[in-house]
Amino acid sequence: MNMRQRNSAWLIALTVCGSAGYVLLADCDPRLLEIVGLSLFVSLSALCIGALLGLPLGAWLAVSRFPGRTALVVALNALMGLPSVVVGVLVYLALSRSGPLGSFGLLYSPTAMVIAQSALVLPLIAAVARQIIEDAWQEYAPEFSLIGIGRLHAVGLLLADCRFSLTVATLAGLGRAMSEVGAVMIVGGNIEGYTRVMTTAIALETSKGDLALSILLGCILMTIILGLNVIAHALRTWASRRYG
């Protein structure tokens, strides 16, 4: 079997296992489906927001030069490691009725969870995008400046040029969102049937001593995250073959 056939075989095997697991779940418990569905919804929404804001931010930072830029870059890199509970507490205080954004009544809802996870994922995507684009920028900068490409146009071109590496970076952000528990627990409240996601469900079932269910949920979570990584790898390989 050559490399391409082997990769396809892996992908097929994974899809089959994943689907089998999914079907088993559906028979098992509709609440489980609800939990898995909400996890995907919250994390994917947070990812969209994080990418829409983070990619241009990282790109702009990569091509800009201004006093204090280095400090900003270092701060952004540090924010990548922001603990999820810290984000949770900050968003909680902001969204609480007694807080500045309280009038929207967003606390303990999926919206609050999306906001919190977006805050987690945004610095990660921005920081990685900045690095990727700055590396490309080193290569292109002399010619761009000669041609007279403006900064905004350069950002657009670099985002298009690095699109495959950026996709992988974005998928890394998705992994972070799906596996965190601190932020969604605090701002979502782990309300049954409303704000319970895979990670908070695992925490709850473990605390109730129902370890079997926790492990099952953990396996599903790991399968999804593994699937994401397989996709990322396949995408990268295909892209380098097709686009150089």
Quick one: which of 89, 161, 179, 226 contacts another protein (CB under 8 A)?
Answer: 161
Alpha carbon 210 to its chain's center: 29
* Cα end-to-end span (Å), the chain: 24
Q: For residues 107 and 221, which CB has a smaller minimum distance to another protein in the complex?
A: 107
Q: Looking at residue 98, what DSSP letter applies?
A: T
Q: For residues 3 and 146, which CB has a smaller minimum distance to another protein in the complex?
A: 146
CA 80-85-87 angle, to 5 degrees, is: 55
Piece in contact with another protein (CB under 8 A), picked from 5-13, 17-25, 75-83, 236-244: 236-244
Provide CB contacts within 8 A for 103, sequence distance 6+: 97
Question: How many other β-carbons are positioned within 10 Å of the β-carbon of residue 24?
Answer: 12
For residues 97 and 43, the answer to whether their CB atoms sit within 8 Å is no
Footprint on residues 6-45 left by another protein (CB under 8 A)? 41, 45
Q: Output b/e per residue, 219-239; b: 16+ Cβ within 10 A.
A: ebbeebbeeeeeebeeeeeee
Q: Looking at residue 104, what DSSP letter applies?
A: G
Query: Which of 54, 229, 240, 236 lies closest to 133, judged by CA?
Result: 54
151 binds another protein (CB under 8 A): no
98 binds another protein (CB under 8 A): yes
149 binds another protein (CB under 8 A): yes
Task: For the CB of residue 194, give the shortest distance to another protein in the complex, in Å.
Answer: 5
Q: For residues 76 and 162, which CB has a smaller minimum distance to another protein in the complex?
A: 162
Task: For the CB of residue 187, give the shortest distance to another protein in the complex, in Å.
Answer: 11
Task: For the CB of residue 216, give the shortest distance to another protein in the complex, in Å.
Answer: 14
- Residue 16's φ and ψ, nearest 5 degrees, are -60, -50
- Residue 99's φ and ψ, nearest 5 degrees, are -100, 180
148 binds another protein (CB under 8 A): yes
Quick one: which of 39, 190, 199, 200 contacts another protein (CB under 8 A)?
Answer: 190
Contact map string, positions 61 to 80, toward another protein, x by CB under 8 A = --------------------
2 binds another protein (CB under 8 A): no
Chain position carrying tokens 């984000």: 87
Task: For the CB of residue 86, give the shortest distance to another protein in the complex, in Å.
Answer: 17
Residues that bind another protein (CB under 8 A): 41, 45, 48, 96-98, 102-103, 105, 107-108, 110-111, 139-140, 142-143, 145-150, 153, 157, 160-164, 189-192, 194, 204, 206-211, 242-244
